Amino acid sequence: MSLAPAQFAQLNRLIDLQLEVFPEHRGFLTKRFADSDAAHLDFCEQLSGNVFKIAGSDIRRIVEDYRWLSDMVLEEELFFRREGRYRLSKFSDALEQVYANTPFMAKYMNGLLASQLWWRNHTEVLRYFRDGFLPGNRQGFTHLEVGPGHGLFLGLAAAAPNGASAEGWDISAASLENTRAALSAMGASAGIALKEVNIFTAPEGQFDSITFSEVLEHLEEPLAALKILRGLLKPGGRIFVNAPVNSPAPDHLYLFRTPEEVRDMVAAAGFEIVDTLYAPPSGAGLDKARRQELSISAAVIAKKSS
């Protein structure tokens, strides 16, 4: 039986493909979509269309890699629950084990692509980015994303009617390759420069808008990175920061324990906080997620004062 109403055809098709390779996930996905309203499902339908475009004939690999990602995250979760910390704490280890490991990184980004739909918090944050962040940028804004990964945020920024230009920086050549292919499949690659850059040795630049999504927790010194990003914004420019709390993964180094810790770090870097969205995971409300220390996405929209 379909998990979403019949008019959401691409979403239902993607769910069916996912369940073919991961039948044990039916209960999770049933809960995930149980209380979704039409606007949320509509967004999921559009997102499914983009996932199909990005995957092309590799759609089966995407859903298989999501299964692989789920198993890997479960292992990290067991470690986290036992030890109360993330497994790695050094950037050099993450670089060696993850970012420089091309086959691993490709599977990881594929799994994360599917998670944008299957993990409700990921979907909510993407939607918040499209509807809550991008329209607030000035007409003709210039945009930078650091760590664009699967490319969905950068694709949305490049398609914003008020945008003029967009570029992406990432420390991982393998990840950039993924971004390049995704943007091209979405028809959004024209004029988007993708550069291999470590944010701590970033070149000069001046942008109206920056996305920094799911990168902060990958760093040993997240506050220092936010200060660098502030330096890359024009006065009055806006930043979209998104970081998960209590979210173990093979390359997560910095443990945020509450969404407020993310917000407060953005403020400590000198930004003025404009708005926040704290999105609990599939199947839990925010109170339960806080009580049980589940993974919560903390999205923060902030501004550099003029």
Interface residues with ligand SAM (CB under 6 A)? 99, 112, 146-150, 153, 169-172, 175, 198-200, 213-215, 218
In the complex, residue closest to ligand SAM by CB: 149
Output the smallest distance, CB 221 to ligand SAM, in A.
10
89-118: b (≥16 Cβ within 10 Å) or e: eebeebeeebbebeebbbbbbbbbbbbbbb
Q: Given the complex with ligand SAM, which of 201 and 306 has the nearer CB atom?
A: 201
State which residue, 26 or 101, has the beta carbon closest to ligand SAM.
Answer: 101
Find the shortest distance in angstroms from Cβ 231 to ligand SAM.
Answer: 15
Q: Which of 91, 58, 87, 66 is nearest to 75 (CA)?
A: 87
Do 298 and 262 meet the contact criterion of CB atoms below 8 Å apart?
yes
**Residues in contact with 71: Cβ distance below 8 Å, sequence separation at least 6, in sequence order:** none
Q: How far is the CB of 116 from ligand SAM (least distance, A)?
A: 7
Residue 51 CA from chain centroid, whole number: 14
- Name which of 213 and 276 has its Cβ closer to ligand SAM: 213
CB of 301 to ligand SAM, least distance (A): 15
- State in angstroms the smallest separation of the CB of 113 from ligand SAM: 9
Q: Which is nearer to ligand SAM, 43 or 99 (CB)?
A: 99
